């Protein structure tokens, strides 16, 4: 028997599809429904490694956690990892299969993957009571509809009802809802069941006349109005559009346990990947995390983090052009803490030999760690465990660079030299004991009277966030109507809104 399904589409990118999908998943699992997430195609530099060694988008890993199940490659069969403005690495069923330009991908390769993604969705629907699917961008991107496999292409192929999410905080939500439907073909419109308003501020009664008029214009109802809530950003789909100013994910900084706060500056390097690594630092009371792109912004930092990147050599050039490389080298010479993660670890080494990613050949690194890096064509995808600073650590690895560590003190799979640390492990800071031990070492090196909280559990904080998303759906959406959609599909007889998709 095939389980129920729903496609959560959006009027725009960043309308809230990932968060709404996670919220619906958490609401369903709390009702005893066996549910799984799905996104046919994801474009993201924030990825995760499943237990079977497959690379998928972190958003789908987060949604699987909302469902209280282990993520698998079936939940995100196609992942695109941008390497430039024009090309991306294509990851199929968790493994990289090559680089393609946007023209090459949309020119034929994408459409050939429709059968694969429909098979993955069918497998999930045969296993779970419900599968909540997330779209990408807007379903009304008429220039891409012919080859679409993630919005109406998957909805048509699997006969999924579609719920369109609109971010009212941006303005123009009524025009966006109407225009989205009106630019779809008659066959596509038959599957668009209705709308969900996201990030509403104020009195809902003032919005209701507009929702009634929208229903009159489109024949489609609104399934809920979700209020604006701070601090709900979890595992962003990608880092290309995220604001690099201010604190991470709107997170409020709790008062420090000790006398001092600890300031962390994260270098906002190009093609930054898995910037979610620093979320665990931002969750600690008294730790202030900000993204920076100017040397003077490092001056008061107690710790500088050089994060992962999809373009290690390009990021290294950027650091040098901005004067950040010189500032990092100078602070390391002064004994001030620096941490490099994945591509950032490679940048801190002696040299990089890259005939794979940038094809730049041998490039000198910053020389802060006794490490030489050679890029291999095969990508390392792993879920390592180990010990560092006397604490157990879990992480995950996603990299082409192979590091030859020739000295220093061992640190996870990398090393430490003085007060500079480097590792390929993503997610290590989510291990609570290790994070606290690392922050104590940073505070001592920075001469700060900072004390890590003894009871901060990153996993528990993540669970509370997911429950908040489930609460939003349960309290502000018509859950009975949502379940009817998931179980029975789009209502019959939905009217066609002209002009429809262009020929």
Catalytic positions are 342, 426
Crossing angle (nearest 10°) for helices 312-322 and 324-333: 80
d(CA 408, CA 418): 8
DSSP codes, 236-264:
-S-SSSS--SSBGGGPPPPPPSSSS-EEE
DSSP codes, 86-107:
SEEEEEETTEEEEEEEHHHIII
Dig out the tokens for 231 from the structure: 């601090």
d(CA 194, CA 196): 7
d(CA 247, CA 289): 6
8 pairs with which residues across the strands?
134, 163
d(CA 316, CA 299): 20
The answer to whether the beta carbons of residues 414 and 405 sit under 8 Å apart is yes
405 pairs with which residues across the strands?
371
d(CA 210, CA 207): 6
The answer to whether the beta carbons of residues 70 and 52 sit under 8 Å apart is no
d(CA 429, CA 278): 8
Q: Is 405 left (phi over 0), alpha (psi -120 to 50) or beta?
A: beta
The answer to whether the beta carbons of residues 440 and 452 sit under 8 Å apart is yes
d(CA 345, CA 417): 12
Give burial (CB, 10 Å; 0-12/13-18/19+) of 353. Answer: middle
Closest of 289, 236, 240 to residue 263, by C-alpha: 289
DSSP codes, 143-182:
TTGGG-SSSHHHHHHHT--EEEEEEGGGS-HHHHHHHHHH
């Amino acid at each position: 028997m095939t389980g129920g399904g729903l496609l959560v589409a959006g009027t725009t990118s960043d309308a809230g599809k990932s968060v709404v999908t996670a919220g619906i998943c958490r609401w369903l699992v709390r009702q005893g429904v066996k549910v799984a997430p799905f996104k046919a195609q994801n474009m993201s530099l924030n990825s995760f490694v499943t237990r079977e060694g497959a690379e998928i988008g972190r958003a789908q890993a987060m949604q699987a956690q909302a469902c209280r199940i282990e993520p698998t490659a079936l939940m995100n069969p196609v992942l695109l990892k941008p390497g430039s403005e024009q090309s991306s690495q294509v990851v199929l069923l968790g493994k990289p299969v090559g680089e393609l330009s946007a023209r090459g991908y949309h020119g034929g390769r994408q459409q050939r993957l429709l059968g694969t993604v429909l098979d993955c969705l069918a497998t999930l629907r045969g296993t779970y009571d419900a599968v909540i699917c997330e779209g990408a961008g807007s379903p009304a991107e008429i220039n891409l509809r012919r080859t679409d496999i993630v919005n109406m292409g998957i909805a048509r192929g699997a006969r999924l009802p579609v719920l369109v999410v609109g971010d009212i905080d941006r303005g123009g939500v009524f025009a966006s809802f109407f225009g989205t439907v009106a630019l779809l073909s008659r066959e596509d419109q038959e599957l668009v069941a209705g709308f969900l308003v996201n990030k509403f501020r104020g009195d809902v009664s003032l919005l209701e006349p507009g929702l009634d008029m929208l229903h009159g214009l489109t024949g489609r109802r609104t399934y809920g109005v979700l209020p604006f809530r701070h601090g709900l950003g979890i595992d962003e789909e990608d880092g290309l559009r995220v604001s690099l100013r201010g604190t991470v994910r709107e997170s409020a900084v709790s008062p420090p346990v000790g006398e001092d706060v600890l300031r962390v500056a994260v270098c906002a390097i190009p093609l930054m990947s898995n910037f979610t690594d620093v979320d665990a630092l931002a969750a600690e009371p008294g730790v202030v995390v900000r993204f920076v792109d100017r040397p003077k912004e490092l001056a008061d930092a107690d710790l500088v983090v050089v994060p992962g990147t999809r373009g290690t050599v390009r990021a290294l050039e950027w650091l040098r052009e901005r004067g950040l490389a010189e500032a990092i080298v100078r602070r390391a010479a002064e004994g001030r803490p620096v941490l490099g993660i994945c591509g950032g670890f490679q940048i801190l080494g002696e040299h990089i030999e890259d005939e794979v990613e940038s094809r730049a050949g041998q490039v000198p690194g910053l020389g802060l760690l006794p490490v030489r890096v050679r890029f291999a064509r095969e990508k390392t995808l792993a879920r390592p465990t180990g010990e560092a600073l006397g604490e157990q650590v879990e992480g995950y690895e996603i990299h082409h660079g192979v590091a030859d560590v020739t000295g220093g003190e061992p640190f996870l799979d990398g090393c430490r030299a003085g007060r500079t640390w480097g590792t390929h492990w993503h997610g290590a800071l989510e291990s609570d004991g290790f994070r606290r031990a690392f922050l104590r070492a940073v505070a001592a090196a920075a001469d700060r009277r900072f004390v890590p909280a003894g009871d901060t559990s990153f996993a528990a904080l993540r669970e509370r966030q997911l429950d908040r998303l489930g609460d939003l759906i349960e309290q502000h959406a018509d859950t009975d109507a949502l379940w009817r959609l998931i179980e029975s599909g789009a209502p019959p007889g939905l009217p066609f809104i002209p002009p429809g998709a262009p020929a």
